[in-house]
Amino acid sequence: MHGARPTIGDVARAAGVSKGTVSLAYSGKRPVAEETRRRIFAAAESLRWTASSSAQALATSRTSTIGLVIARRPEIIATDTFFPRFIAGCEAVLAEAGMGLMLNVVADDDAETAAYERYAAGRVDGVILLDVEQGDRRPDLVRELGLTAVILSAEAPHEEEPVDTPVTPVVYTEDAAAVGELVELLVDAGHSSIAHVSGPLRYVHAAARRDAFAAAMTRHGLLPDRIVEGDFTAASGRDATAALLDGDDHPTAIVYANDVMAIAGLSYARSSGLRIPEDLSVTGFDDSELSAHLSPGLTSVSTGADVRGAVAARTLLAALGGDAHRSVLVDGTVVVRRGSIAPPSQP
């Protein structure tokens, strides 16, 4: 309408950012990239918009809420025990601090970006980034949006960020050592033909486990040439196992990147007439509750998902209070030995 007063939304659209980023640029409460700030100010000047106190308050007010966006298919979240355990750990810490957790499950990158933009518009005080991908865009995205963040990873950060870049804490576990121990258990049992069913290799934690498997095999003088990429679902575990067991020269042991795939693979192997562990040894990862109640019990890796959630929440609260640490190691990854490993049967 002609003569209507411009709004913060008009400025955001003109500058190609969210309303939260506009308010942050004016409040100075959290850093906004200089190029983005100049674009916002130029848009505001062209529209003759002046920041109001309420617009600035959008960025400076505390909501007592932490945001968590999960970009996974619902069936994966429903069957993977990591997520409820991790969330429970977060909630325990946040409840003590009088805060809550806002959860969004999204289907694609656009929905994920929109969720973070809503968060930046004043819905949360900070965010936890899960399922970090190779070359992940989200650290830069949340930094540009002015959101304080903590990253959960399966390995320590490799490089220091530039000194003029705000610190984004990384909470990490050492998955590599646990995978190496699994391979060592299998080698000590007499296995030399060992396969790996990985998670999606775009994820840092899936690639870290794959790389650890390959390195452990190489240390023992074995070829890491039987690696099949799954997607953490039971269906992919079954399909990957079927592919590995096709033919006479199949592996005598399989290391799976999570328990869901391992349990499905174990079931398929049994339906194919193989005995577990006499004909095929299997190991999982994440130590789901069901793993202890299988027959035989599944050797797996306990990652302390609830502890990781608690540490991630505490680290984020510290960062919000101005006490940001570059990295925090969660020391709780333990191999849980059960009955799914045995010496390979003789031909």
The pLDDT value recorded for residue 159 is 61
Q: Do 128 and 152 touch, CB atoms closer than 8 A? A: yes
Options 3.40.50.720, 3.30.360.10, 3.40.50.300, 3.40.50.2300; CATH for 175-303 is 3.40.50.2300
In whole angstroms, what is the distance from residue 39 CA to residue 57 CA?
21
In whole angstroms, what is the distance from residue 337 CA to residue 321 CA?
41
In whole angstroms, what is the distance from residue 22 CA to residue 82 CA?
36
The pLDDT value recorded for residue 236 is 96
Please tell us whether the domain made up of 65-174+305-331 is placed in CATH 3.30.1490.190: no
The pLDDT value recorded for residue 58 is 46
In whole angstroms, what is the distance from residue 68 CA to residue 114 CA?
13
In whole angstroms, what is the distance from residue 236 CA to residue 240 CA?
6
Name the nearest CA neighbour of 65 among 103, 33, 38: 103
Identical fold between 65-174+305-331 and 175-303: yes
Domain edges within the chain:
8-51, 65-174+305-331, 175-303
In whole angstroms, what is the distance from residue 20 CA to residue 125 CA?
12
Going residue by residue through the chain (347 aa), what tens digit of pLDDT does each one get? 445 778 877 888 898 887 777 777 776 655 677 888 888 889 888 888 876 544 544 444 578 899 999 998 887 888 888 999 999 999 999 999 899 999 999 989 999 999 999 998 888 999 999 999 999 999 999 998 989 999 999 888 766 555 445 678 999 998 999 999 999 999 999 999 999 999 999 999 999 999 999 999 999 999 999 999 999 999 999 999 999 999 888 999 999 999 999 999 999 999 999 999 999 999 999 999 999 999 999 999 998 999 999 999 999 998 888 777 888 999 889 999 999 999 998 76
The pLDDT value recorded for residue 28 is 62
In whole angstroms, what is the distance from residue 269 CA to residue 274 CA?
5
The pLDDT value recorded for residue 122 is 81
Q: Do 169 and 312 touch, CB atoms closer than 8 A? A: no
- Distant-in-sequence, close-in-space partners of 346: CB < 8 Å, separation ≥ 6: none
The pLDDT value recorded for residue 347 is 62
Name the nearest CA neighbour of 36 among 47, 24, 49, 54: 24
The pLDDT value recorded for residue 37 is 82
The pLDDT value recorded for residue 30 is 59
Q: Do 297 and 340 touch, CB atoms closer than 8 A? A: yes
Question: C-alpha angle 322/325/327, rounded to 5°?
Answer: 155
